[in-house]
Amino acid sequence: MYGKLDRNPRELFSRYMGNPILEAGEWPYVINSVFNPGATQLGDETVLLCRVEDCRGFSHLTVARSDDGKTDWRVDSEPTFSRSKEFHEEQWGLEDPRVVWFEPYERFAVVYTSFSPAGPQVSLAFTDQFEEFDRQGVLLSPEDKDASLFPRKFDDRYVLIHRPIVRGEQHVWISFSPDLVHWGDHEILLTRRSGWWDDAKVGLGPQPIRTEEGWLILYHGVRETASGSLYRVGLALLDLEDPTKVIKRCDPWVMGPREDYEYRGDVPGVVFPTGAIVDETKGELRIYYGAADSSIGLATADLDQLLDYVKNC
């Protein structure tokens, strides 16, 4: 048993013993690295839409499927969703997708970073089976990253969490739209905190996770150090009916780079979760994260314990 307030937050998540679960060496074609995947459940399969960096330095997205979400990954033999010449904003590649089952359309919505020479932007595509993707184009102007739709509408409006750069500041914002084209009522949701572990910038992690207590938000917070950036994970809880209302935001980070594979890679000192799946039968939250921008790790948490922790922090 653990005390609600004295539990070490860094024990809330357990890393999977078989980490990293996906690496460049086991990819069916030659790549530099695989990291930052979107994650969802499709029937009996866990689907990861992985960011893959090719050996020119551009990213595309490739699907990996597994029956238990942990082992025996079946990776598409070629890129599943890559940049299209017709879409100027994708000229420098596609990165960091977040996936939700989008109730209004009964399709999966993928919001990803489309990297244009003018800067990163957030783009939307719909898919049914993760084979074909219907592009909807760019949602907001650059620079913007780390975005996800909510799976449902609120008062007949679509809602997006994203991370624009405004006056050099990198906070998490929330925006609203009647049609997925025109966006407004922009508000800051979570700020970076001067002097804290999330001092330099913050950005959404995985898609918002619906729980009985509210929308559970995992976000990354960055501190600049003498040896580079440290990317760690924090928690917040948003009101179920009004996601502009932050019910809780925890002070400490709950997961940070620790293992060798989180420190050894193209960008050392990075854990960057972008996908989450709730296993309702086990009451378990699985998060999929990029480790050092070089591989994919899996960590799990007991959802009730996690929510208890957030409510009491």
CA distances from 232 to 73, 215, 235, 262 (A): 26, 20, 11, 11
Task: Write out the E strands in 205-308.
Answer: 209-211, 214-225, 228-238, 246-249, 271-279, 284-291, 295-302
Which listed range, 3-11, 70-78, 86-94, 264-272, lies at the site for ligand BMA (CB under 6 A)?
264-272
Contact 48, 39 (CB under 8 A): yes
The minimum distance between CB 229 and ligand BMA, in angstroms, equals 7
What span, in angstroms and rounded, lies between the C-alpha atoms of 267 and 191? 24
> Which residues in the 134-173 window bind ligand BMA by CB under 6 A?
none
Contact criterion met (CB below 8 Å) for 237 and 214:
yes
Cβ closer to ligand BMA: 173 or 176?
173
Site for ligand BMA in 25-54 (CB under 6 A): 36
Task: Tell me which residue has its CB nearest to ligand BMA.
Answer: 267
The CA distance from 21 to 308, in Å, is 29
| Residues in a beta bridge with 170 | 165
- Residue 156 CA to residue 164 CA, distance in Å, equals 24
Pick one of 76, 90, 262, 293: the residue that binds ligand BMA (CB under 6 A). 293
Residue 267: CB minimum distance to ligand BMA, A: 4
Residue 270 is a binding residue for ligand BMA (CB under 6 A)? yes
Find the binding residues for ligand BMA in span 81-120 (CB under 6 A): 95-96
* Residues in 213-232 at the binding interface with ligand BMA, rule: CB under 6 A: 231
Q: How far is the CB of 96 from ligand BMA (least distance, A)?
A: 5
Minimum distance from CB of 50 to ligand BMA (Å)? 12
Phi then psi for residue 303, to 5 deg, are -65, -40
* Residue 157 burial class via C-beta count within 10 angstroms: exposed 0-12, middle 13-18, buried 19 and up: middle
- Per CB under 6 A, which region of 79-87, 133-141, 255-263, 265-273 contacts ligand BMA? 265-273
Judged by CB under 6 A, does residue 290 bind ligand BMA?
yes
Interface with ligand BMA: number of residues (CB under 6 A): 9
Q: Are 233 and 254 in contact (CB under 8 A)?
A: yes
Q: How far is the CB of 266 from ligand BMA (least distance, A)?
A: 8
Which element (helix H / strand E) includes 311? helix 303-312
Binding positions for ligand BMA, rule: CB under 6 A: 36, 95-96, 231, 267, 270, 272, 290, 293
